[in-house]
Amino acid sequence: MNEKPRHDGAPSPAALFRSLHTSARPLALANVWDVAGARVVEAAGAPAIATTSAGVAWALGAADGDRVARGLVLDVLARIASAVAVPVTADIEGGYGQSPAEVGETVARVLDAGVVGVNIEDGTRPPRALAERIGAAREAADRAGVDLFVNARTDTYLLGLGDPATRLRDTLARARAYVDAGADGVFVPGVTDPEVVAELAEGLTVPLNVMAGPGAPSVAELGALGAARVSLGSGVAQAAYAAARRAALDLLGTGGYDSLDRAIAYPELNALFPATR
């Protein structure tokens, strides 16, 4: 899907999404996994939509961690992108491929789905492996004519990789390798400590993305530390499924329904969708 220039003077979705990354007002992303979630988040005023790979996998009946079929994920992404007017970025785990070439194919198909940003993670892979995947993603985007925002996720803190004494230095070394390979941003989940966030932001030449949750500094506070993007990861999906469990326990235990008292009203939710397709 070649991204054609707009004639109304408005930036393209890819250019708009790229411009949203600023520590002055960090891009706040409440990650979703289906069309309904995307429409609810967009209606709440979100300037962009991000997916959670964990939420998508769970909704499709698979565990998180590159265990869901690529085609199923691509179908979800296409449905989300076609349902909202704001830019969409997708968490594609390790790229849904065994080789850089296969990752490049994934990215090409993600772009065809209308997505303008991706997260690709290293996990326990060596840094060189992710650098090669990022390079393949960048090549695929260049061929498609889309200014794709590639967010390189490193799991050094999330998974506790390496020596804690050198973890910050090792994380920045990985980040620089990913940027050299074509990454536009770096995502370091597992870090909300203000001092570490500030050091990461200071050591990067691209926008820093952190994952937040209960107890973490606010979006504005993280921005003041240098973060340009704050996402909730799988947190929204976990909270939604916790709500489903509370409702079930309430119903099956006491026979009550009070756990539903904060539900979105049916007419409000239903109005987010077209009457016909």
Distances in Å between the alpha carbon of 113 and those of 42, 72, 98, 121, 126?
A: 18, 12, 21, 20, 29
Q: What is the DSSP string of the chain?
A: ---PPPSSSPPPHHHHHHHT--TTS-EEE--BSSHHHHHHHHHTT-SSEEB-HHHHHHHTT--TTT-S-HHHHHHHHHHHHHH-SS-EEEE-TT-SSSSHHHHHHHHHHHHHTT--EEEEE-TTS-HHHHHHHHHHHHHHHHHHT---EEEEE--TTTTT-S-GGGHHHHHHHHHHHHHHHT-SEEE-TT---HHHHHHHHHH-SS-EEEE--TTSPPHHHHHHTT-SEEE-TTHHHHHHHHHHHHHHHHHHHT---GGGTTPPPHHHHHTTS-S--
Domain ranges of the chain: 13-234
Residue among 72, 103, 85 nearest 46 (CA): 85
- Span 96-116, pLDDT tens digits: 999 999 999 999 999 999 999
Sign of CA dihedral 189, 14, 68, 41: positive
- Span 171-207, pLDDT tens digits: 999 999 999 999 999 999 999 999 999 999 999 999 9
Per-residue burial over 15-28, b if 16 or more Cβ lie within 10 Å, else e, is: bebbebbebeebbb
- Span 205-250, pLDDT tens digits: 999 999 999 999 999 999 999 999 999 999 999 999 999 999 999 9
- Span 113-164, pLDDT tens digits: 999 999 999 999 999 999 999 999 999 999 999 999 999 999 999 999 999 9
Q: What is the CA radius of gyration of the chain?
A: 19
| pTM across the whole model | 0.93
The dotted CATH code for 13-234 is 3.20.20.60
